[in-house]
Structure 1
Amino acid sequence: MPHTAFRWPIHQSVLPNGLRVVVSPDPSVPLAAVNLWYDVGARHEPPGKHGFAHLFEHLMFEGSAHVAKGEHFALIQACGGDAINASTNPDRTNYYQTVPSGQLELALWLEADRMGSLGLTQETLDNQRDVVKNERRQRYDNVPYGRWSEVMVGLAYPEGHPYAHSTIGSMAELDSASLADFTAFHDTYYAPDNAVLTVVGDVDPERVAELAERYFGRLEPRGSVPQPDAKPLPRQFGSPQRVTLTEDVPMPRIYLCHRGPAWGSPDAPAAELLTTVLGRGRGSRLYRTLVSERRLAQAESGFMAAWGLMHYPSMVMGACAPRVGIEPDAVVDAYFEVCDDAVRGGLEPEELDRARAMITADWFRELATVNSRADTLGQYATRFGDAEAVRNRIALLDAVTLDDIARVAAETFRDDNRIVLTYLPAASAAGTADEAEESAA
């Protein structure tokens, strides 16, 4: 286990109510990053309640028993803290802030207060529903290609699967839900035995454990937290899918998907290295083939990445924008040729070395700040039940062989494991139809 993979100490404990506490001291900076991972995301939302987890990302800042609306931000900023925010994805919701290490107690008190006594009212619910609606308009509905990821997950996962809907959720379902529905969701998932508290910085582990017990220890555990029930998915989709959407977009754009291994699974490191070689940066195979050599795609396109979904098979995603005058199908064919070449010929040793170096450099940049380090520890503790698993990151990458990558490529880049989602500009589609009619006449 290479010490350089994560060179800081890690202290772990569990409170009697089930809250997991992870502390990583670092006296080099006078800061304390406080990060709380709740094991609840879009995948936990039952039918008819899509968007609840993301809405709670907002609601948790709307006040609690001893903290007024908006006061969480004000108190953290007043003590010199920053990086106050939260995020939601299909697998989890996290809340975080970085404070001067002398203000650690304040941050812990704030997090414990909203975990145990969220001040949810009809007024705050209605207000934040409107905020989320506006966020959806800005990020999904009123921007070109904005709904591509929402459409893609609906194609990649069967109806009813925990990953088959977007994190932003359904505005109709949010509107139809009552205050009691949201209170029940909070009572179910926002509990100490469904959370990981991580503190990184100039802190004493024993003092952090003492404060965690003081502020979180009185909160009641749920005892049993409902988990999604998903049928096992096959390694491949089972058949290729092609979907074309004609919308008000400036130019054609193509999104491509293969089913891939889940983050944290044994094949995930090989998939990460494979997609780095094929789709990351100007030195990648996709960029060289589609942009530099064959001049089929726009320079900003031709990428591929393994998505980090943690609990069920994930996705290998790509995107390409054809150059003016190039048919989208020509780009799609060339994209899949690059994938097929990786299956037939494998990767070169120097390509694998370059990918390892890139990912390793990313890793050390990620660990450079206390807030990012805290989030990473929360991720590993939540996914593996042990924050020490973070130390295996580089060793797992180093252990991947060319044969491992060849096997994962063969399992991933199959004809029956492809989804192609193509966006066409409305005017372009109309022109193509007119030309077809004239040709037929």
Structure 2
Amino acid sequence: MPMGHTAIPQDTAGALTATEHRLANGLRLVLSEDHLTPVAAVCLWYDVGSRHEVQGRTGLAHLFEHLMFQGSAQVKGNGHFELIQGAGGSLNGTTSFERTNYFETMPAHQLELALWLEADRMGTLLSALDEESMENQRDVVKNERRQRYDNVPYGTAFEKLTAMVFPAGHPYHHTPIGSMADLDAASLEDAREFFRTYYAPNNAVLAVVGDIDPEQVLAWAEKYFGSIPAHDGKRPPRDGTLPLIIGAELRELVREDVPARALMAAYRLPHDGTREGDAADLALTVLGGGESSRLHNRLVRRDRTAVSAGFGLLRLAGAPSMGWLDVKTSGDAEIADIEAALDEELARFAEQGPTPEEMERAQAQLEREWLDRLATVGGRADELCKFAVLFGDPTLAFTAVRRVLEVTPEEVRAVAVAQLRPDNRAVLVYEPTGPSEQADQGDQTDTTESTDSDTEGADK
């Protein structure tokens, strides 16, 4: 039977509890009962993302996210989708810098099916992985890149800024979508070795949340996952350590066929999982989180130089997080005027910090977002996996709200003073061109991907 058992206590997020177990092969299992509705969520996180890739083979983690839906020993072709959806469930998978996840939400009486399917592809995908499925999904991923990144306005902004914030050779320098050249270069043996290395039970966390009988789920986990062998060949990810200050402003002018001028910027900010990281999230929420934010009020409402102005945080655990600024201009507004207003607002914020009303509103906004995620069985399963994989302790999912509410206004101001400054940002300025002029700009029009981050997941 499963080895090891740890109780996870209730917390300020409400009467939420969970238990953690470990199978003999290393698979970590986190269970959380919730009998409000007759549904159950299965979430499986593999500790592999684009940061684990090597130069020349970028995009393998994301490619594998797709290959995992191409059949396994007992499930042919599109059978994973057909069986889950036929049983009334929903499913998908996503890839980020730091992990790959797969998830299903099922009627509770169909939970065993989801567990069997996840175990079958973890244990037997290699038996179904061939050149045909490899080529099929390679083409799907390349087409996804064209549709979502290369052929949409401002599509490459996130990729460009990431490459500027994280220097060449850094594990976060490239984004999970990968490059066309590397996708073309990946061989079937590359894919097989990638799977053998990372898709092992001792490199995964399985969370099951909802209307469940924990003892029954433990028995099913042992039955379906227990015989899958562990793999000890995984190399640790490359070190993502960087100074929290870039040291000089980095700039790039992009001339493309876009609807309007745009100013985008990225700042290095504290790591996820730290009190400073929560303070950074609150700072960016005050500055650019919605229509009540300072930058929206200044640039959109008062100056009318922008049609949108937002500031968000891409939380990262293995490298500095990234603050993402996105401003689309209004009419013939000049980028220089917008930058001057931006710097003025950031300087004022660094000097004065948030007002009590701004602090209360930002904390309420982040609290609501956290509680919304924990309120659904799928969201809670995902958070339990996240904190288990990235921080070693699923308990932290239940204390995240409390930590945000404990941050002080002075801590928020301190992050702005330390990080939200011109020598700690990469800047992209978009200047529109006509179609004919764009054709003459061939090498200047490399285009990419928008942040979401969780970033770079793809619907099947």
Whether TM exceeds 0.5 here: the answer is yes
- Matched position secondary structure for 1:302: strand
Give the conservation status (yes or no) of the 8 Å contact 2:273–2:317.
yes
Map Cα deviations across residues 90-118 of structure 1 (whole Å, 9 max, x no partner).
11110011111111111111101101110
Deviation at 1:224, TM superposition (A): 4.6
Structure 2 gaps, min length 5:
1-8, 439-460
Q: 1:105 aligns with which of 112, 124, 142?
A: 112
Bigger mean CA offset, 229-238 vs 58-67: 229-238
Give the conservation status (yes or no) of the 8 Å contact 2:271–2:315.
yes
Measured in 2, the distance between the counterparts of 1:245 and 1:311 equals 29
Aligned positions of 1:34-433 closer than 5 A: 34-82=42-90, 84-118=91-125, 119-230=128-239, 232-298=241-307, 301-427=308-434
Distance 1:214 1:7, change over 3 A: same
Measured in 1, the distance between the counterparts of 2:437 and 2:234 equals 52
Distance 1:428 1:333, change over 3 A: farther
- Matched position secondary structure for 2:362: helix
Measured in 2, the distance between the counterparts of 1:365 and 1:231 equals 31
Give the conservation status (yes or no) of the 8 Å contact 2:371–2:401.
no
Map Cα deviations across residues 358-398 of structure 1 (whole Å, 9 max, x no partner).
11112222222211111111111112211111121121112
Structure 1 gaps, min length 5:
432-441
Bigger mean CA offset, 88-97 vs 415-424: 415-424
Matched residue type, 1:142: N
Matched residue type, 2:281: E
Measured in 2, the distance between the counterparts of 1:192 and 1:353 equals 43
Deviation at 1:266, TM superposition (A): 2.7
- Matched position secondary structure for 2:16: coil
Deviation at 1:72, TM superposition (A): 0.6
Give the conservation status (yes or no) of the 8 Å contact 1:64–1:113.
yes
- Matched position secondary structure for 1:139: helix
Matched residue type, 1:197: L
Measured in 1, the distance between the counterparts of 2:354 and 2:86 equals 53
Deviation at 1:4, TM superposition (A): 3.4
Bigger mean CA offset, 309-318 vs 1-10: 1-10
Bigger mean CA offset, 111-120 vs 385-394: 385-394
Give the conservation status (yes or no) of the 8 Å contact 2:285–2:362.
yes
Measured in 2, the distance between the counterparts of 1:243 and 1:32 equals 47
- Matched position secondary structure for 1:244: strand
Deviation at 1:2, TM superposition (A): 7.7
Measured in 2, the distance between the counterparts of 1:244 and 1:195 equals 42
Measured in 2, the distance between the counterparts of 1:16 and 1:265 equals 32
Measured in 2, the distance between the counterparts of 1:365 and 1:232 equals 32
Give the conservation status (yes or no) of the 8 Å contact 2:11–2:399.
no
Bigger mean CA offset, 251-260 vs 360-369: 360-369
Matched residue type, 1:149: F
Give the conservation status (yes or no) of the 8 Å contact 1:2–1:395.
no
Give the conservation status (yes or no) of the 8 Å contact 2:241–2:318.
no
Distance 1:250 1:294, change over 3 A: same
- Matched position secondary structure for 1:404: helix
Identity %: 46
Measured in 1, the distance between the counterparts of 2:152 and 2:221 equals 43
How many corresponding residue pairs?
428
Deviation at 1:163, TM superposition (A): 0.7
Q: 1:20 aligns with which of 12, 18, 28?
A: 28
- Matched position secondary structure for 2:354: coil
Give the conservation status (yes or no) of the 8 Å contact 1:246–1:429.
no
Matched residue type, 2:333: I
Bigger mean CA offset, 227-236 vs 73-82: 227-236
Matched residue type, 2:351: R
Deviation at 1:427, TM superposition (A): 3.8
Give the conservation status (yes or no) of the 8 Å contact 2:52–2:171.
yes
Give the conservation status (yes or no) of the 8 Å contact 2:60–2:191.
yes
TM-score w.r.t. length of structure 1: 0.94
Deviation at 1:312, TM superposition (A): 0.8
Measured in 2, the distance between the counterparts of 1:42 and 1:79 equals 33
Map Cα deviations across residues 384-420 of structure 1 (whole Å, 9 max, x no partner).
2111111211211121111211211111112310211
Matched residue type, 1:75: L
Measured in 2, the distance between the counterparts of 1:312 and 1:2 equals 30
Bigger mean CA offset, 114-123 vs 411-420: 411-420
Cα RMSD for the two superposed structures: 1.7
Measured in 1, the distance between the counterparts of 2:425 and 2:435 equals 25
Measured in 2, the distance between the counterparts of 1:319 and 1:279 equals 9
